[in-house]
Structure 1
Amino acid sequence: MTLERQRVPFLDVDATPVTVSELTALLTAYVAEGRTRTVVGHNLHSVTLLHSDPGFRSFYDHSDVVLIDGAPVLWLWAKTGEEDDGRGPVMDYRLGSTDWIPALGNVVGLQRIAVIGAGAVANAGAVAKLREIVPGARVDGMPGEDWNHDVEDAAVQWLAGLRPQLVLLGLGMPLQEQVLARRLPMLPPAVYCAVGGAIEQIAGVQKLAPRWIGRLGLEWAWRLMLHPQRVAYRVFGEPWVLLGLLLRRRLGRPAQGQ
């Protein structure tokens, strides 16, 4: 299966538009080949980090799949007209982690899964749920709270012993991407997926927005209502930071730190 990155206008980033079924077919191919692969996603937070952090940009540039996660990214991608090729509705190409993780049972040959991240209760809940989603697969979990150098070393050794085919890493952005960037060469071959808060959501610890809200692109309002302190800056502050970064880029001025 050939994947092509497509440019998202105004945001100056590239993404890999795929549907859930296309992604599971791709994961099937990745599992069969047994090589190291990375799957990440783009929302406004990742776009801001990409334009402000050269290391983050490099990691995304070298990732195998960059899903379209956030609704604004999807809408701007749709402006290109490149989706008008008979493939289906635009919303089918918005893939947050909780959109495709429930479809992992369709990944042929998937027998070993590792889940890293969240607290012990949420991690155990996600492991139990994944055992239902992928019957017969071995699913192991390691909590990610209080992450530090020692925990990271332990995770590397744990993965080396397990040798999973698929790893769901949910440490929050950008920590999960930073961990993969510095540790990937020493990790066993697998498909490594940065999934943010999806571990808590799959476990049912964090309540998901109703899907109709998601399809309207209003999940930010749902999260703001449930977790105002956690997401207020992302909703009200970060878009202005991103706008400033994009204007600097258009004017040919390097962002701070570049």
Structure 2
Amino acid sequence: MSALARERVPFLGVTVTPLRVEQLIPVIGDFLNDGQVHTIAGHNLHSVTLCHSDEAFFDFYQNSDVVLMDGAPVVYLWGSRNEHQGRRVEYRLGSTDWIPELFRLPQIQRVLVVGSTPEANLLGVARLQEILPDATVQGLHGSDWDQGLERQFLNLAHDFKPQLVLLGLGMPLQEHVLLRNKEALPPATYCTVGGAIDQLGGVQRLAPRWLGRMGFEWAWRLMLHPSRVASRVFVEPWILGCILARKKIQRFRKQRALKKSRS
């Protein structure tokens, strides 16, 4: 299948694939049918910050087949350029928005769920088995991830031959696992899903969808997990702003130096 169009997000210096749930599910179906390695990721401010500070992480996003808009600021900034053209995405598309819709793909036969604690992984696998009653769903926890678990993941992927892999090891570990092993990965569609396994299994409470559609899901997460989320909410945007400002100054200086060299 032909590559999906990627579009630039103003100010952030990254590109996304602006899809809604009803558009993404057929795309996943196409990936499953062609039997090749595909990756699906999602951009929020945390991933954007990592892209601008980690070259390998940036390459992962550049080479992913689909990069969803997984953060409200990303959606708003993309919309600032496109809404006047009648193009609109109403809210962020996170993993927990599209995973429950996988039942629409009858060709799914084997799914591998990797990440979270052993208990939460079992719960996530059980929930996904309910969503896909005709498929076989296997799991591998991600607690204290090390080289041994990484080898176990690769061996399981080769033996089980999943069509779809939900990799929820947190960012940036999940992306680096795929990068480190990109030549060894068997054909499948690999989706980096962050904390979605905990949410799928009911270990973490999902924010009400109306709150997410208003762009305030971060407030829900901050209330439930203040120690984990506070830095991302209150500190990381400033870090990203400084990184982007520094890069803009560097580009300006290069352009000015180039003009002087030509004059």
TM-score where L is the length of structure 1: 0.94
For residue 184 of structure 1, report the CA deviation from its aligned partner: 2.0
Bigger Cα Rg:
2
Amino acid at match of 1:7: R
* Structure 2 match to 1:193: 191
Q: Say whether the 8 Å CA contact 1:83–1:90 is kept in structure 2.
A: no
Unaligned stretches of 5+ residues in structure 2: 252-263
Q: Could you list the per-position Cα deviations for residues 126-160 of structure 1 after superposition, in whole angstroms to 9, with x for gaps in the alignment?
A: 11111111120000000001101111111111111
Q: Distance in 1 between matches of 2:75 and 2:203?
A: 27
Matches for 1:68-107 after TM superposition, within 5 Å: 68-81=69-82, 84-85=85-86, 89-91=88-90, 94-107=92-105
Amino acid at match of 1:128: A
Partner-residue secondary structure (3-state), 1:90: coil
Amino acid at match of 2:190: Y
Matches for 1:143-222 after TM superposition, within 5 Å: 143-222=141-220
Amino acid at match of 1:75: Y
* Structure 2 match to 1:223: 221
Partner-residue secondary structure (3-state), 1:91: coil
Partner-residue secondary structure (3-state), 2:206: coil
Unaligned stretches of 5+ residues in structure 1: 254-258
Partner-residue secondary structure (3-state), 2:67: strand
Q: How many residue pairs are counted as aligned between the two chains?
A: 250
Partner-residue secondary structure (3-state), 2:138: strand
Q: Say whether the 8 Å CA contact 1:67–1:95 is kept in structure 2.
A: yes
Q: Could you list the per-position Cα deviations for residues 210-230 of structure 1 after superposition, in whole angstroms to 9, with x for gaps in the alignment?
A: 111101111111111111100
Q: Say whether the 8 Å CA contact 2:116–2:168 is kept in structure 1.
A: yes
2:34 counterpart of 1:36: no
Q: Say whether the 8 Å CA contact 2:18–2:89 is kept in structure 1.
A: no
Q: Distance in 2 between matches of 1:202 and 1:83?
A: 36
* Structure 2 match to 1:114: 112
Percentage identity across paired residues of the two chains:
54
Residues 82 and 38 (structure 1 numbering): CA distance in 2 closer, same or farther, change over 3 Å?
A: farther
Q: Distance in 2 between matches of 1:226 and 1:28?
A: 35
Partner-residue secondary structure (3-state), 1:172: coil
